[in-house]
């Protein structure tokens, strides 16, 4: 079952209906691939005639659509350059819902902004939900087999102390199905990975989102996720207390586990 009804996405896809659209996914991790999976479902529902675009043959498309997720601005230069390549084709370019880390004022046909804090960098951007909130997982998730899972980023967007460990879910999963299964395996999920939090919500797990290095996570929670049952904590310690877990006890226990895993890995060498 989708987290948001299909009607919440109608204003994004209605302008693309019955057009021959070339889709270009953003360059990113498994969370971005979850957004793509949702995009394909929404294309089908709203009657968008699309195919994956060949970057060497953009002239064959009537319009181009750049995938949702990721960030507008200079934070991720590969995607910035990719968007410029699409504009250089001379075709109309629509950018599906994004966050903005700074300004990117270029002549796109339409730009959709997925949370309110980013609108200050894109005043003409159209507010729309992150497309992963429209993903239909189909099957009901299995019962959880684990209690609490703490999953933290291992990149510059992560702000939680490294002392908590860095079990990054994008290092454990290759596909959206694996991402959803990892989230579903836990009764509680604490994470600063936005789309892992969304995966946990999709699988109906208790979810606590932590901040990242800029406004994205906090604003996504304020704009959409809080209404969907996601909770927000500013620190790992605060999140653990919200789960009824003593931070000191969790830290000692998790440190002991990491030390045991390290010894085991060294013994196998």
pLDDT per position as a tens digit, 81-100:
999 999 999 999 999 999 99
- Nearest Cα to Cα of residue 95 among 7, 25, 44, 18: 25
**Tokens 């085991």 belong to which residue?**
264
pLDDT at position 260, please?
Answer: 54
Place of tokens 């990721």: 70
pTM for the structure as a whole: 0.93
- 160: nearest Cα among 202, 217, 224: 217
HSE, CB side, 13 Å, CA atoms: give it for residue 57.
8
Report helix, strand or coil for 191: strand
**Contacts with 261 (C-beta within 8 Å, 6 or more apart), sequence order:** none
pLDDT reported for residue 75: 80
Could you say which residues of the chain have pLDDT below 50?
264-265, 268
- CA distances in angstroms from 52 to 13, 22, 32, 39, 67, listed in the order given: 16, 6, 15, 12, 11
CATH number of 6-134: 3.40.50
Q: Which residues pair with 207 in a beta bridge?
A: 189
> What are the extents of the domains in the chain?
6-134, 146-268
The tens digit of pLDDT for each residue in 41-69 reads 999 999 999 999 999 999 889 999 999 98
- The closest of 198, 166, 206, 153 to 179, measured between CA atoms, is 198
Nearest Cα to Cα of residue 239 among 201, 188, 195, 184: 188
Q: How much is the pLDDT for 265?
A: 47
């Amino acid at each position: 079952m989708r987290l948001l009804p299909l009607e919440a996405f109608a204003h994004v896809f209605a302008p693309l209906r019955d057009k021959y659209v070339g889709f270009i996914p953003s360059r990113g991790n498994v969370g971005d691939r979850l957004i793509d999976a949702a995009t394909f479902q929404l294309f089908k529902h709203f009657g968008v005639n699309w195919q994956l675009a060949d970057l060497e043959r953009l002239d064959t498309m009537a319009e181009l659509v750049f995938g949702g997720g990721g960030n507008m601005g200079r934070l991720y230069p590969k995607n910035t350059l990719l968007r410029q390549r699409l504009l250089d084709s001379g075709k109309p370019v629509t950018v599906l819902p994004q966050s903005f880390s700074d300004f990117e004022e270029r002549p796109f046909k339409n730009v959709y902004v997925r949370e309110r804090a980013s609108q200050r960098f894109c005043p003409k951007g159209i507010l729309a939900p992150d497309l992963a909130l429209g993903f239909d997982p189909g099957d009901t998730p299995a019962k959880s087999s684990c209690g609490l899972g703490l999953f933290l980023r291992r990149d510059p967007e992560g702000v939680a102390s490294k002392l908590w460990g860095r079990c990054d879910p994008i290092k454990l999963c290759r596909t959206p199905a694996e991402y959803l299964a990892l989230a579903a395996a836990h009764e509680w999920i604490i994470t600063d990975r936005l789309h892992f939090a969304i995966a946990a919500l999709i699988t109906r797990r208790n979810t606590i989102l932590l901040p990242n290095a800029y406004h994205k996570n906090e604003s996504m929670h304020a704009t959409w996720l809080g209404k969907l049952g996601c909770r927000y904590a500013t620190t790992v310690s605060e999140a653990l207390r919200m789960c009824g877990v003593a931070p000191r006890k969790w830290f000692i226990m998790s440190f002991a586990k990491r030390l045991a895993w390290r010894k085991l890995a060294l013994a196998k060498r």
